[in-house]
Amino acid sequence: MDEVNYCRRTQDVRVIFGVAQALADLRERGWLAILITNQSGIGRGTITIEEYQAVHSELLRQIGNQLDGAYFCLDAPPTDSKRRKPEPGMIFEAMADFHIDPTKSWMVGDKVADIQCGQAAGLRTVLVRTGYGANYVGPEPDFVAESAVSAIHLILGATLDMG
C-alpha cells in the first residue's frame, strides 16, 4: 500500500494499482503470499491494536483477501526482540506454520530492515523503489524492482527460468 506513517485510519489505506491482481497471479501459480510487518506504532502508543486490525482488514479487502498469512511485531525500538525486522523471527514463524522452504522463498520490501530480514532468513530479496525504497542505502538486495507489481512479475519470471 502507499506509505502512510503509522497508518491508523482505514480511509488512508490505498493499495498500489495492480497489486491485488499480481498477488492473485502469484497465488494462482502456487505461491503463498505472507505479510511480515513491524508495527511499532502499537508499542509506542501511536495507534491501537484495534486501529491496526481495522487497517489490516481494509488492506485485505482492497487486495481481495490475497494473503495466506500475516505476522506483525508491535515492539518499539530499541528492543532485543527476535521478531522485529531486521531480525528474522516472523519469517521463521511463517516457515514453520506453512512448511516453507527458504531456498524457494523471497522477501520483498522497501526498507533496509526488510532486506536484512530476508537475508538473515536465507531468502532471496527484492528491493522495491517505492516508499522508502526510493532513497534506499543499505545491503545489496538480490534484485531491485520499481514497484511491488514488478517485483511479483520478477519473481514469477525468475522461477520460470529456474525450472
In degrees and rounded to multiples of 5, residue 120 shows phi and psi of -65, -30
Domain ranges of the chain: 10-161
36 closest CA partner among 100, 101, 108 = 108
% of the chain surpassing 70 pLDDT: 97
Under 8 Å between Cβ of 107 and 123? yes
- Percent of the chain that is helix, strand, coil (3-state, to 5): 45, 15, 40
Which of 5-9, 57-61, 114-118, 119-123 is least confident? 5-9
Tens of pLDDT, residues 49-104: 999 999 999 999 999 999 999 999 999 999 899 999 999 999 999 999 999 999 99
Distance CA 82, CA 80 (A): 6
In CATH, the architecture of 10-161 is 3-Layer(aba) Sandwich (3.40)
pTM for this model (two decimals) = 0.93
131 Ramachandran zone, left/alpha/beta (phi>0; psi -120 to 50): left
Rounded CA separation 159/4 (Å): 32
Q: Indicate the SS3 state at residue 101.
A: coil
